[in-house]
Amino acid sequence: MKPVTDLSLYVHFPFCVHRCAYCDFNAFAAARVPRKAYAAALLREFELRLADLDATSARVRTIYFGGGTPSLWGPRGIGEFLDAIATRVLFDTTAEITVEVNPGTLERGSLRGFATAGVNRVSMGVQSFDAQRLRALDRVHGSDEALAAARQLARLIASGALRSASIDLIHGGFDQTVEDFHRDVDRFLSLDLPHLSAYGLTVEAGTPLHARVARAEAPIPDEATQAEILRELPEWLTPAGIARYEVSNHARAGHESHHNRAYWHGAPYLAIGAGAHGFLTRDLARTRTDDIGIRYGNLRSVPSYLAAIERGRLPEEFRERIDARTHAMERILTGLRTVEGVDLDSLARACGAEARVRVLERADRRMRLHADVVLVQDRLFVRPESFVFLDAIIRDLV
């Protein structure tokens, strides 16, 4: 009998009620969201993908509805979609099912509705609890709405309706000081939620924020402030029993995101929806080469995506082979961002013994010159206090 392959599923919902000035995700502001047509296309893509791969022994372990704003799909739409895919693929009964939620677009009762529909984890884009900062970030919600929605998440966890929940905060933009952000984190702590994702504001090319910064109408995010926040954040969270497990992610034990962990460990994931990117290992993708697997990216524009599905085609913009060297680089890149680091034994098993030798050679130089990378029991990791130099370390090691 073939061994069972654990599979993650990412579902992209590319609609928002309004496009935030800083965002460069594949998301489109839509006055009317074509929920039904898009849901039908997603299901059709899911069927096309199952026909394209060897999924007989795959079991879905995590599902992540990301966006855009998938909460605009509504509990009923997401519930029906979950029911439909459960009839088409083997489903782990303990699967982690996450939906991203924007606190400014929630109808009354919809958080509980998502839980009833089968979602067991919510990731809420709060960004800040400060009214002025939310305006600067161009969000559709105010701080009261964000607080009320986050409090409701905490109640749903306490009652057992949800297994876990996270909020996203953005730091270091619009002259925000370390103390300003500390106040946001204190608000988060007062809610007693088990997971926090904290991102330094990045000014992405092509966004309205980028244009504003170029015209000197908005300040460039201060790197020194972001670095100090990165250094201090774990200390603020530790008394609440929340620990960093990846450079931007912090959780109480047992509340780490299984879905994101699957990405970071190089596990296969199927992705559907406009602009979604998937990675399938050789066994699933039925490739007959020595490669590790394939990566694909879907068409980003919704009309092109829908048109491809209509013609019965996989809506792909590109598909590329992932050889052992590329896969090793990706594992090192994501692994070094985690607190547990890169498991060299598992790296060698997946990518060959040369992958271990290559990274150790490079790490050795870094260890001698900077002492910010450590090797303990066949795990290579970045010292937590050196996470501020992560980009330079990764550039050196891959």
Among 7, 11, 16, 388, binds ligand SF4 (CB under 6 A): 16
Tokens of 115: 């839980």
Among 202, 287, 346, 386, binds ligand SAM (CB under 6 A): 202
* Contact call for residue 62 and ligand SF4 (CB under 6 A): no
d(CA 309, CA 315): 6
Among 10, 13, 15, 22, binds ligand SAM (CB under 6 A): 22
Smallest Cα–Cα separation from 85: which of 121, 107, 112, 58?
Answer: 58
Among 5, 62, 102, 164, binds ligand SAM (CB under 6 A): 102
* Contact call for residue 67 and ligand SF4 (CB under 6 A): yes
Smallest Cα–Cα separation from 120: which of 170, 163, 70?
Answer: 163
Smallest Cα–Cα separation from 299: which of 314, 319, 316, 311?
Answer: 316
Among 7, 8, 13, 19, binds ligand SF4 (CB under 6 A): 19
d(CA 20, CA 24): 9
Query: Minimum distance between the CB of residue 106 and ligand SF4, rounded to whole angstroms?
Result: 12
With vertex at residue 108, the alpha carbon angle to CA 106 and CA 110, rounded to the nearest 5 degrees, is 65
DSSP one-letter code for 338: B
- Residue numbers 115-174 binding ligand SF4 by CB under 6 A: 125
* Contact call for residue 275 and ligand SF4 (CB under 6 A): no
* Contact call for residue 70 and ligand SF4 (CB under 6 A): no
Tokens of 331: 């594992």
Contact yes or no for 291/322 (Cβ under 8 A): yes
What is the DSSP pairing of strand 316-322 with strand 293-298?
A: antiparallel
Contact yes or no for 67/12 (Cβ under 8 A): yes
* Contact call for residue 168 and ligand SAM (CB under 6 A): yes
With vertex at residue 104, the alpha carbon angle to CA 100 and CA 107, rounded to the nearest 5 degrees, is 85
The residues, any chain, with a CB within 8 Å of residue 384's CB and separated by 6 or more, are 234, 244, 339
Query: Minimum distance between the CB of residue 60 and ligand SF4, rounded to whole angstroms?
Result: 24
* Contact call for residue 20 and ligand SF4 (CB under 6 A): yes
Interface characters, 2-21, with ligand SAM (x: CB under 6 A): --------------------
- Residue numbers 357-386 binding ligand SAM by CB under 6 A: none
* Contact call for residue 8 and ligand SF4 (CB under 6 A): no
Torsion (CA) 259, 260, 265, 270 in degrees, nearest 10: 50
> With respect to ligand SAM, which residue has the nearer C-beta, 127 or 260?
127
| Interaction partner, residue 19 (ligand SF4, ligand SAM, none; CB < 5-8 Å by kind) | ligand SF4
Give residues in contact with ligand SAM (CB under 6 A).
22-23, 25, 67, 69, 100, 102, 125, 127, 168, 170, 199, 201-202, 204
Give residues in contact with ligand SF4 (CB under 6 A).
16, 19-20, 23, 25, 27, 67-69, 102, 125
